[in-house]
Structure 1
Amino acid sequence: MTAAGTTVLAIGTKKGLWLARSSDRENWTLSEPKFLMEEIPSVGIDTRGGRTRLFAGRMSWHFGPCIAHSDDLGETWTEPKEGSIRFGADDGAALERIWQIQPDAENRPGVVWAGCQPISVWKSTDHGETFELNRGLWDHPHRTEWGAGFGGAAAHTVLPSPADDTLHVAMSTGGVYRSDDGGISWQPRNSGISAYFMPDPNPEFGQCVHKVARDAVDPDRLFAQNHHGVYMSTDRGDSWQSIAEGLPADFGFVMLAHPHRSGTAWVIPLKADGERIPPDGRLLMHRTDDGGATWEASSAGLPEADFNAVLRDAACVDTADVPGVYFGTRGGAVYASADEGRTFREVASHLPDVLSVRAAVVPS
């Protein structure tokens, strides 16, 4: 996809949703807030099949969580009267947050996935109108041993493979799980990922994986940002190898993969779990073009000093031929790059705490 058209940037924050638009990914127009005073921990943009549908995973402290969708670029929003995600009476749980909204591959146009809190994965086959609980993961014998990360017990990454029925899920805490049959059965896939904070630092499961991204060219290659540790797998998660050498720190939340080119990924390091600030107070994006063998830092257009973190879903890439890279900080600043993360421009400032960011090129 080229960058011709309008780029829409959805920005979910602690106190509402903002939409930014640009024809050149350099000059941006910011909307008035939607869902003001609601948390928006997840957003999604589905451009499959010649249509554009925006999703917002809302969290109202009065009405509770729900997924709303818009087919007119955010002018109007719809949600099912009874809610699109609901646990059954026998499940012993209630939905707390929607942490991930992930459209499936082009060849599965009606399928949309949601990762939620409590740790659960949900599948829609009607373009996100309604969702069904994935029983294989919910009934997994490990579930009672999964814990809550600092932000809660979240299934924060859902990665359907475009090549087959493989599906990866990452959770905090629990680690990476893989299904080879479209979500019917699940197995932990964490060999090589450290859980240094546990009595056994190399358990089968229980890792606090922060984010996972899939290589666009080689679907067997995965990148992971862990709770201390940056990793790559070339065998669908059967084994993981550290690629943290060359980074100023191995803690962080962001992991992005290039939408067209193999081996390219981006991270935004933080100093440590006890000091969740950029190293030396410099907010830098780091990029590898060789599968983690080397890393290069980008600072052009970013502030000289910034002590704010970037959360796991507060960063994304679009699918233009030269991809745009975007992220927002806990200080309410949002940045966009039109050159694969080499230089940045500020899209917005002084927003509430940014929780989620997604971008897509849509017809003008």
Structure 2
Amino acid sequence: MSNQETSNDGELTLLAVGTKKGLWLGTSDDRVSYTFTGPHFLMQEIPSIGIDTRGGRTRIMVGLRSEHWGPTVAHSDDFGATWQEPEHGAITFPADTGAALERVWQIQPDGADRPGVVWAGCEPISVWKSVDGGEHFELNRGLWDHPHRSEWGAGFGGAAAHTVLPSPADPDTIHIAMSTGGVYRSLDGGASWEPRNKGIGATFLPEETPEFGQCVHKVARDANHPEVLFAQNHGGVYRSGDSGDSWDYIARGLPADFGFTVMTHPRRSDTAWVIPIKADAERIPPDGQLAVHRTDDGGHSWTRLEEGLVQPEFNVVLRDAAAVDSAEPVGVYFGTRGGSVYASADEGNHFFEVLSHLPDVLCVRAAAIEL
């Protein structure tokens, strides 16, 4: 831990870890020593977490999935001391759809200039919008009624709309990604959607680069140039410089191009992190050696980051089980399916284990909060 940088004075780091059997919440004033509470929602699956720090309030939103009560979204404004959820559910399909909510895969607060707006991506494949801070959501009919919907399929984990990326520069521009279906973009606030997958491979389909149908695992947006996107595909890491109109393969230099997660720097352009997995048929870190890889030049080169990680490791990191904070330097966090949670306070150069022996880690989120 001696090599770890510490947070700026006056900041508190909130680290939220969602697992197959509950939620753990940690706080730290130095990004070295963490105090955790939990499990919250013991024996409930937590596939999604959103932390909303807009307007001087910290709201934690979690997608819950109970085998008995089903899925919903709950929120806390006091760091998990109390939780609220709507009596009739935060996300409920209209009767005319004939559908029922299976899982909340993504909770994404919008920009600071759009207070109260929160997006959710769900199973069955659907996108939802809240205007009251994540308490109630409305189905996006433009995507639900899309003519491609009957051809979208289920990835290994389910039919997931797992990425929702509102553009900070334009409230009408939104990108989503789904497994399986690929990347779609709206230029009219979600009224209509078009596939944006040119250059992304789909080796499991007869046409390897189809218009849609790709199993894109995760997409992240560049902080300074909203038209720049990074994607971790089911085989392939890609970068787009034109808002998804075309994609370039950037996985050369990585030990494998399969993986689930991708993260971008909150301030520095063309900096991204991925966590490679050997292959879809061998879902382990390459050679059983877990490592994060960072690019600082848009994918032209990659730096291997593994100091402090316990080896060997044969568990993988899932698509939302990794996150960055906004502190200086940036913190990098992730959890494995073996229940280990790692933190770095120096952009991944050094890691240390902050939790271990948890259930499968499904989701990790972190935020730097001004005191």
**Shorter-chain-normalised TM-score: which range?**
over 0.9
- Could you list the runs of 5+ residues in structure 2 that have no partner in the other structure? 1-6
Determine if the alignment matches structure 1 residue 181 to structure 2 residue 169: no
> Once the 2 structures are TM-superposed, how far is the Cα of residue 363 of structure 1 from its aligned partner?
3.9
Partner residue in 1 for 2:210: 203
2:69 maps to which of 41, 55, 63: 63
Tell me if structure 2 keeps the 8 A contact 1:167–1:178.
Answer: yes
Partner residue in 2 for 1:194: 201
- Counterparts of 2:179 and 2:167 in 1: how far apart (Å)? 21
- Counterparts of 1:128 and 1:15 in 2: how far apart (Å)? 23
1:28 maps to which of 26, 30, 34: 34
- Counterparts of 2:56 and 2:196 in 1: how far apart (Å)? 35
1:224 maps to which of 231, 241, 244: 231
> Once the 2 structures are TM-superposed, how far is the Cα of residue 4 of structure 1 from its aligned partner?
3.2
> Once the 2 structures are TM-superposed, how far is the Cα of residue 2 of structure 1 from its aligned partner?
4.8
> Once the 2 structures are TM-superposed, how far is the Cα of residue 53 of structure 1 from its aligned partner?
0.2
Partner residue in 2 for 1:290: 297
Partner residue in 2 for 1:328: 335
Flag the 1:274–1:109 CA change in 2: closer, same or farther, 3 A: same
Flag the 1:3–1:219 CA change in 2: closer, same or farther, 3 A: farther
Partner residue in 2 for 1:130: 136
- Counterparts of 2:116 and 2:37 in 1: how far apart (Å)? 28
3-state SS in 2 of match to 1:342:
coil
- Counterparts of 1:58 and 1:328 in 2: how far apart (Å)? 18
- The root-mean-square deviation of aligned C-alpha atoms, in Å, is 0.9
The 5-angstrom pairing of residues 46-61 of structure 1 reads 46-61=52-67
3-state SS in 1 of match to 2:72:
strand
Tell me if structure 2 keeps the 8 A contact 1:57–1:99.
Answer: yes
Q: Which runs of at least 4 in structure 1 moved beyond 3 Å after TM superposition?
A: 1-4
3-state SS in 1 of match to 2:50:
strand
The 5-angstrom pairing of residues 255-274 of structure 1 reads 255-274=262-281
Tell me if structure 2 keeps the 8 A contact 1:287–1:297.
Answer: yes
1:241 maps to which of 219, 244, 248: 248
3-state SS in 2 of match to 1:192:
coil
Instruction: For residues 170-211 of structure 1, give each alpha carbon's deviation from its aligned partner in whole angstroms, at most 9, with x where no partner exists.
Output: 000000000011111100000000001001111100000000
Tell me the TM-score normalised to structure 1 length.
0.99
2:221 maps to which of 211, 214, 228: 214
> Once the 2 structures are TM-superposed, how far is the Cα of residue 3 of structure 1 from its aligned partner?
6.3
Instruction: Decide which moves more: 319-328 or 206-215.
Output: 319-328
Instruction: For residues 64-108 of structure 1, give each alpha carbon's deviation from its aligned partner in whole angstroms, at most 9, with x where no partner exists.
Output: 000000000111000000001000111011000000000001110
- Could you list the runs of 5+ residues in structure 1 that have no partner in the other structure? none
Tell me if structure 2 keeps the 8 A contact 1:86–1:95.
Answer: yes
Determine if the alignment matches structure 1 residue 72 to structure 2 residue 78: yes
Instruction: For residues 116-174 of structure 1, give each alpha carbon's deviation from its aligned partner in whole angstroms, at most 9, with x where no partner exists.
Output: 00000000011111100000000000000000000000000000000002100000000
Determine if the alignment matches structure 1 residue 81 to structure 2 residue 87: yes
Partner residue in 1 for 2:259: 252
Q: How many residues align?
A: 364
Tell me if structure 2 keeps the 8 A contact 1:3–1:321.
Answer: no
- Counterparts of 1:344 and 1:31 in 2: how far apart (Å)? 21
> Once the 2 structures are TM-superposed, how far is the Cα of residue 304 of structure 1 from its aligned partner?
2.2
- Counterparts of 1:349 and 1:278 in 2: how far apart (Å)? 18
Flag the 1:194–1:92 CA change in 2: closer, same or farther, 3 A: same
> Once the 2 structures are TM-superposed, how far is the Cα of residue 270 of structure 1 from its aligned partner?
0.1
Tell me if structure 2 keeps the 8 A contact 1:30–1:348.
Answer: no
1:171 maps to which of 150, 175, 178: 178
Q: Taking every aligned residue pair, what percent have the same amino acid on both sides?
A: 70
Partner residue in 1 for 2:20: 14
Determine if the alignment matches structure 1 residue 38 to structure 2 residue 14: no
- Counterparts of 2:47 and 2:142 in 1: how far apart (Å)? 25
Residue type at the aligned position of 1:79 = E
> Once the 2 structures are TM-superposed, how far is the Cα of residue 321 of structure 1 from its aligned partner?
2.5
3-state SS in 2 of match to 1:255:
strand
Tell me the TM-score normalised to structure 2 length.
0.97
- Counterparts of 2:337 and 2:260 in 1: how far apart (Å)? 12
2:10 maps to which of 4, 14, 34: 4
- Counterparts of 1:133 and 1:116 in 2: how far apart (Å)? 10
Tell me if structure 2 keeps the 8 A contact 1:247–1:269.
Answer: yes
- Counterparts of 2:193 and 2:9 in 1: how far apart (Å)? 38
Residue type at the aligned position of 2:161 = A
